[in-house]
Structure 1
């Protein structure tokens, strides 16, 4: 069986790119089709056959990818998949819009319906100018048509499954994304709880680092922030001396902070959210906004606590009553292990094979 993978772009190595690598462990001979590939920045794919679109040849395409999004639907539609039996797209945006012939099954692993098109409250880039609103209206029409081309949807959480149903009127099976719990795996004897709380994430509006900074300004307790982004300068100006910005951290630095923190604070509404699972794998509880993916991974009283509103006051209330000694290392690890890469690969392989078999049987009846 000839299989191909499709991904929106390969210009950064983040959560969705890690998912593609895990899918490649299931189907190691599959090539990857994408819009733009930055070989210098994303070296993890250097041994994999990668096909790109004409956008790859445009000047500064890797640096200014977001400006090219209106051109990406056409670029993906020009790929030829006639030589494949099965195409698997990994998509947060446009990759699901490929066109396949009737004999080719298309399964899309959806990390999220295109956020800047459907949920501008979470991604304000969608509505910060009249021109963008016009362009995005056209892109929403295309996005619905693109979703209709998919034969089977997979969602990375129940949260995303509900949004696929809402925006695309399609059902989806849920397969949680893989988390490297083998790397984040300290021995219980290594676990030494520090006197600080930790935020990990990009410093952009919807991640709500501003909420955490405001809360800890009032609390006066130590907060460490790992990450960078467009809001970094503003947040540093607002932060008091008890808040330390560590910038982009190496895997080792992240691991050391995760296993030593009193708790990881996770204030955003995410599609899934890998950071809480990495935290639990390190034996560290999570204080999360009780919505989105965190509501599926964190168990109150077992692996963390929720705050019910995205306000500094709601977060402060939880932190004041929080005691890390109430959470057991073994239970935190056990919860994290439900999202291991091994479980992802086994479920992904089984589900894709079942969907492909169903597709072949359906085609025989036509």
Structure 2
């Protein structure tokens, strides 16, 4: 069976790329199409498959790939599928589902999120820009939104990463979808849990971009003086690091072996943004570590907060404010010793990659059977 996978870009290795890596275990000979490809930044995990990039994949443009959203439709249109494929799988957070396909070809679209700057979070992106740029950006967001609408019916079946995103797909695209949670690497569950050690830091882990709300953590820990380690890179890093007191460390992107050194010292991961799903909390839970998260979005499907703390994987704060985060930290510290690292790991294990592969394969097979 000839399979094509269309992914928005292969530059950094985040949740969307990890999903692609898992799908390739089911279809190891698939061709990959993408807007941008950066072999140096993506690293050793880059698939060895045939990868075709778009007309936008030029050195200068690639450096500013996230700011080129007005050109994304042009890039997608330039991706000419080279063969008669039996199956198209698109990975959607950018405009991947809009690729032109042969009529009648089954097209399964895995949606990490409808494009956030077009659907539901436009205002957040605009507020992160300087005032003179906002009207221009808003104009192009609207154009991209109108183009995205024209691609909705290009899909045979929508699969989503969470109930949260299923609601967004229904609301914005008027389409039903099947929920298949993204894969958590099984290797994370093989390392022995580290117990009876002195844990001295709180952790933030992920892209440092406006909607992740790392600014709230900087404000909170500037006030409380506790140690916070922030792992990751992004457009907000330089600004936020200049605002941070000495108890807050920005350590950039790290190999997993170095991240594990911080995990062994971590009291809790703090997750202040509204995520579509969020794989990082589960990856940290695989090490038996609790997660303190904003009570909205995908965290509601991954973080378990029970009155019985020993059967909880963390806790929630209700508002995106330093006060609400600090209140959550205070409650956590009162109950910290009651958390059960084995229970937390077992909860995260339910989201293991084996479950993803089984469910995704079954869904695709049902789509292919219905087309025969």
- TM normalised by structure 1 equals 0.92
Map residues 199-218 of structure 1 onto 2, 5 A cutoff: 199-218=204-223
Distance 1:27 1:317 in 2: 47
Q: Does 1:284 align with 2:296?
A: no
Residues 83 and 73 of structure 1: CA distance in aligned 2, closer, same or farther (over 3 Å): same
Query: Secondary structure at 1:262's aligned position in 2?
Result: strand
Q: Determine if contact 1:185/1:281 at 8 Å carries over to the other structure.
A: no
Alignment length (residue pairs):
359
Deviation at 1:46, TM superposition (A): 5.1
RMSD: 2.0
Distance 1:132 1:59 in 2: 23
Residue equivalent to 1:326: 338
Distance 1:331 1:158 in 2: 23
Residues 45 and 216 of structure 1: CA distance in aligned 2, closer, same or farther (over 3 Å): closer
Residue equivalent to 1:229: 234
Distance 1:230 1:106 in 2: 34
Map residues 126-145 of structure 1 onto 2, 5 A cutoff: 128-145=133-150
Distance 2:247 2:56 in 1: 45
Distance 2:265 2:59 in 1: 44
Distance 1:92 1:18 in 2: 14
Distance 1:75 1:246 in 2: 34
Choose which of 310, 318, 324 in structure 2 pairs with 1:314. 324
Deviation at 1:188, TM superposition (A): 3.3
Deviation at 1:259, TM superposition (A): 3.4
Query: Secondary structure at 1:265's aligned position in 2?
Result: strand
Distance 2:113 2:198 in 1: 35
- TM normalised by structure 2 equals 0.91
Gaps of 5+ in 1: 362-366
Distance 1:275 1:337 in 2: 13
Residue equivalent to 1:348: 360
Residue equivalent to 1:12: 12
Residue equivalent to 1:239: 244
Query: Secondary structure at 2:122's aligned position in 1?
Result: coil
Deviation at 1:209, TM superposition (A): 1.1
Residue equivalent to 2:309: none
Distance 2:55 2:227 in 1: 49
Distance 2:65 2:317 in 1: 35
Q: Determine if contact 2:188/2:283 at 8 Å carries over to the other structure.
A: no
Deviation at 1:247, TM superposition (A): 2.3
Gaps of 5+ in 2: 307-311
Distance 1:186 1:87 in 2: 36
Residue equivalent to 1:53: 54
Query: Secondary structure at 1:55's aligned position in 2?
Result: coil
Residue equivalent to 2:118: 117
Residue equivalent to 1:364: none
